[in-house]
Structure 1
Amino acid sequence: MELPRIISVDDHVIEPAHLFETWLPKKYQDRGPKPLTAGIGELAYVAGKYQITMDPDGPPTDWWIYEDLKFPYKRNIAAVGFDRDEMTLEGITRAEMRRGCWDPKARLEDMDLNHVEASLCFPTFPRFCGQTFAEAHDKEVALACVRAYNDWMVEEWCGDSGGRLIPLCIIPLWDIDLAVAEIHRNAARGVKAVTFSEIPTHLGLPSIHSGYWDPFFAACQDTGTVVNMHIGSSSQMPAASPDAPPAVQASLSFNNAMASMMDFLFSGVLVKFPTLKLAYSEGQMGWIPYALERADDVWEEHRAWGGVRDLIPEPPSSYYYRQIFCCFFRDKHGVASLDVVGRDNATFETDYPHVDSTFPNTKEVALDHVKGLDDETIYKLMRGNAIRMLDLDFDKGLTFPWSAKSAAAAAAAK
């Protein structure tokens, strides 16, 4: 079988040290994020949270220093190129990383090695949906940082890739009007994807049930911008006992995606915005059949007291099949349940450069998952559904709105 070249809907980028020096307006640079190489202390993992300290005698690590935040890069988020037993929580410098983590030209080379044609990358230092800037004290600088990150993402990271690196932007989560403006600003230059929190209330933000986010959802629907929600984009991963090892959290990570999807299915958001597209990233899909069965059962059997009798006119699963995409990379149970998961709803990811990444063996992993499936379904899983989800020009022979851009556009951001 010749596997179609993959379009990965969930990868990650390690931000280059020059990002804010290049893209943040000069008047904000003294208050903006600054790169630093310094020693790191021993990491502790307590109740689902990492406790990190600087230590001048510790291993050299690349950090971002921003207001009172000290953010280090760790091996498990830049894991490609290391042996499995070396993918630890130790600090790491960019010089020690595989260059494709932070260099777009090297990333394209690694994609070629890995049978990947195109890639959508989530942030690292801003965190999965821009929480870093939402938590900042000085919101004027934070807004400038959001815009600077998006300018770098569109113009530099994706700009010279010929459309192969697909821009994924962030929004100022703390102000709905600014968020809407940022959606329109980026859509005007061809951006089709934004990252959002799976569970905003965990960030101290209004819930999707409140109506607060409706202008944001309307802007995304109007511009064809896909709302991408990565596990952990609520800054809170599922855990059991407070002293459980990180492996428990890793095994339960899909729970956030499942909780978020139930939230949306019973919120009325997908009723109100019938062409809005949601995408769940790194949540896998083997859990989806029962989640949909349970949601439909609750809708049917518990409608008198469940609070959704007049809010959700059709079975919740109908909105899933119409508007929600999932993705997978190691999930044979999900593939075996594809008729219920939805052959038009599932996409593929490589998770480069995280510890879960299938690089450089993604083709072999994918082939092992899709063996026995028909060619049309394989095409949909590997690229077709991603093309439709993100309204990409692949397979049409067209150009990408951002593909002619370059870092020279940084001058316009000043």
Structure 2
Amino acid sequence: MELPRIISVDDHVIEPAHLFERWLPKKYQDRGPKPLTAGIGELEYVAGKYQITMDPEGPPTDWWIYEDLKFPYKRNIAAVGFDRDDMTLEGITRAEMRPGCHDPKERLKDMDLNHVEASLCFPTFPRFCGQTFAERKDKEVALACVRAYNDFMVEEWCGDSGGRLIPLCIIPLWDVELAVAEIKRNAARGVRAVTFSEIPTHLGLPSIHSGYWDPFFAACEETGTGVHMHIGSSSQMPAASPDAPPAVQASLSFNNAMASMMDFLFSGVLVKFPRLKLAYSEGQMGWIPYALERADDVWREHRAWGGVRDLIPEPPSTYYYRQIWACFFRDMHGVTDAALDVIGRDNACFETDYPHVDSTFPETKQVALEHMKGIDDEVVYKLMRGNAIRLLELDFDKDRAR
């Protein structure tokens, strides 16, 4: 099989130390994030949360210091180039990272090594949907930081890539009208992707059922901006017990995507905004067939007492096939013919998760080929790039019917 070059819908950028010095207006820089290299203490995992301290005697680590926040980069989020057993939660400096983590020109070289033509990258220091800025007290500076990050993303990270690095922007989560303005500001310069929380109530924000986010969804629909939700963008990961090891969270991470998708399917949001596009990043998709079956069964059997009789006029799967994209990279169960019959051959995209510990780099082509065994060439094209082109409204493959 000749595998098409991949368009990865979920990778990550490690922010360069100069980001806010270069992109944050001077009047905010004293109060904005500052880079620092300092020792890190032993990291503890307590009740599902990481406890991190500075230690002058500890291993050198690159940090961001911002108001009361001390944010270190850890080896598991810049894992490419390390052996599996060395992909730990220890601190790391940019000098120790593979340069493609934070240098866009080096990233393009690594994409060439990895059979990847284009890549959409989530933030690291701002966290998956900009929680870092939403949690700070000085919202004037926080808004300036959101805009600075987006300017960096569009103009520096993606600017000289010839379209191969695809901009993914964040919003000021604490104010929906400011979020609308930021969507429109970025859409005017060609951005077609924004990151959002899978479960905003976990961040202390209004739910998608409340109507609060409707102006945001309307702006995304109007501008063709897809809403991308990464696992962990609710700042919580599922675990069975508070003292369970992190491996339990890692194994259950798809749970957040499943919960979020059910929330949207029964919210009426997709009925109200029929051209809104949702994408679930790093959620995998082998769970989707049963989730859709259950959603449709509940709608059919329980809609009267379940509160959705007048809210959801058609089976929930109707809106899934019309408006939702799944994402996978290691999910053999999700790419069987039987699974794809239900997941939808037009509803799934591939990712590489560079440079995280889950990344398939530098073996992405082999991993993808293993998953695509026995799959029709046209479907392979859709899964590897065609569906991402539709989702992100890319200029690739213009001569090919979509």
TM-score, normalised to structure 2's length?
Answer: 0.98
Distance 2:314 2:24 in 1: 47
> What SS does the aligned partner of 1:337 have?
helix
Query: Contact 1:350–1:359 (CA<8 Å) still a contact in 2?
Result: yes
Report the alpha carbon displacement of residue 351 of structure 1 after superposing the two structures with TM: 0.1
Deviations 1:116-166 (A, max 9, x none): 000000000000000000000000000000000000000000000000000
Distance 2:173 2:391 in 1: 23
Q: 4+ runs of 1 displaced by more than 2 Å?
A: none
Q: How does 1:165-314 map to 2 (within 5 A)?
A: 165-314=165-314
Report the alpha carbon displacement of residue 47 of structure 1 after superposing the two structures with TM: 1.9
Deviations 1:377-402 (A, max 9, x none): 0000000000001110011xxxxxxx
Distance 1:183 1:321 in 2: 25
Deviations 1:223-254 (A, max 9, x none): 00000000000000001111100000000000
Report the alpha carbon displacement of residue 304 of structure 1 after superposing the two structures with TM: 1.5
Distance 2:184 2:62 in 1: 34
> What SS does the aligned partner of 1:7 have?
strand
Report the alpha carbon displacement of residue 48 of structure 1 after superposing the two structures with TM: 1.6
Identity %: 90
Query: Where does the alignment leave 5 or more consecutive residues of structure 1 unmatched?
Result: 396-412
Distance 1:363 1:226 in 2: 26
Distance 1:304 1:257 in 2: 26
Structure with higher RCO (Cα < 8 A, 6+ apart): 1
Query: Contact 1:47–1:239 (CA<8 Å) still a contact in 2?
Result: no
Distance 1:127 1:328 in 2: 21
Deviations 1:39-84 (A, max 9, x none): 0000011122111000000000000000000000000000000000
Distance 1:208 1:173 in 2: 13
Report the alpha carbon displacement of residue 188 of structure 1 after superposing the two structures with TM: 0.1
Distance 1:304 1:154 in 2: 47
Distance 1:330 1:198 in 2: 21
CA RMSD of aligned residues (A): 2.8
Deviations 1:266-309 (A, max 9, x none): 00000000000000000000000000000000000001200000
Report the alpha carbon displacement of residue 311 of structure 1 after superposing the two structures with TM: 0.1
Distance 2:187 2:117 in 1: 23
Distance 2:366 2:321 in 1: 29
Distance 2:105 2:301 in 1: 54
Distance 1:287 1:47 in 2: 27
Query: Contact 1:208–1:264 (CA<8 Å) still a contact in 2?
Result: yes
Distance 2:56 2:301 in 1: 61
> What SS does the aligned partner of 2:100 have?
helix
Query: Contact 1:8–1:349 (CA<8 Å) still a contact in 2?
Result: yes
Distance 2:286 2:231 in 1: 15
> What SS does the aligned partner of 2:58 have?
coil
Query: Where does the alignment leave 5 or more consecutive residues of structure 2 unmatched?
Result: none
